[in-house]
Amino acid sequence: MYFVGKISDKSLVETSGTYLPDDPPDAAILTNIKARLGGVDADYSVYHISNTGSDAQRVLTGDSVALTWTGDSVTGISFATEEAKKWIRSSIDKTSILADGVEEAIINMTILTANKSGTDTSFNGNLDINIGTPTGGNKYRFYFYNGVASRSLKTTNAGKFTIPAGRMTDYRIDNTVTLEAIQ
C-alpha cells in the first residue's frame, strides 16, 4: 500500500489499495500522479507500508489517516485524528415492536470519550444519525444533553431498523443495534 503527499502543502493526494505481492515502483506511481495532477517528480513524496499489516487494514476499513513529514519526505502515517474521535454507543429498549404506529421503542445514544473510558458529559448538542429502515436509510436527529440522548421510534412499516457500527465524520459508532417492526 502506498501514499502520495504533495510537498508544497504537505497534503495527502493519493492512498492506494493493497498490491500483492508488491506495490508498483515509485516511478510508475509518480507518472500516474503527474498525469492526473500535473507537476514534476520533485513535487511529490511516496511512502509505502506493508500490504498485510494492521495499518493497511485500518486504512482499508476507513480509519482517517494523515501523513507524517520530515522536511520534504513522507516518513510515516498517523491515525491520531481517528484515535481522537469520540464514540457513540447505541441501544434500544426492545428487540421488536408492532408496526401499528402506537407501540414504541426507545433508542438511547451515549457519547463516549475517545478511549471509551466513560461518557463525555461535556457534549451538549444535536447529531443526525443514519438509521437503516424498511423503506431505506433515514437520518434521525438526536438531542444530547451531558452526552446522552433518547428518542422514541414508532412505525407503521414492517421490517428492520438498524443503527450500524461504523464511522461518521467526527464520530465512530461503537455497536450495531437492530429493532424489528412486525405486523
Query: What digits encode the pLDDT tens for the residues 54-98?
Result: 999 999 988 889 999 999 999 999 999 889 999 999 999 999 999
Task: Quick: pLDDT tens for 122-156.
Answer: 999 999 999 999 999 899 999 999 999 999 999 99
**Would the pTM count as exceeding 0.85?**
no
pLDDT in the model for residue 109: 97
- Domain span at residue 153 reads 85-182
pLDDT in the model for residue 45: 98
Q: Over pLDDT 90: what percentage of the chain? A: 88
Beta pairing class for 148-153 and 125-133: unpaired
Cβ atoms of 132 and 162 within 8 Å: the answer is yes
pLDDT in the model for residue 67: 98
- Pick from 182, 140, 147, 143: which is nearest to 163 by CA? 140
Alpha-carbon gap, residue 147 to 165, rounded angstroms: 18
Residues 176 and 145 in one domain: yes
The H helix count followed by the E strand count for the chain is 3, 15
Residues 119 and 166 in one domain: yes
- Pick from 85, 125, 133: which is nearest to 109 by CA? 125
Q: Report, as an integer, the average pLDDT of 110-122.
A: 94
Q: 166: domain CATH number?
A: 2.60.40.10
Residues 66 and 144 in one domain: no
pLDDT in the model for residue 174: 92
More confident residue, 179 or 168: 179
Residues 51 and 140 in one domain: no
Cβ atoms of 87 and 39 within 8 Å: the answer is no
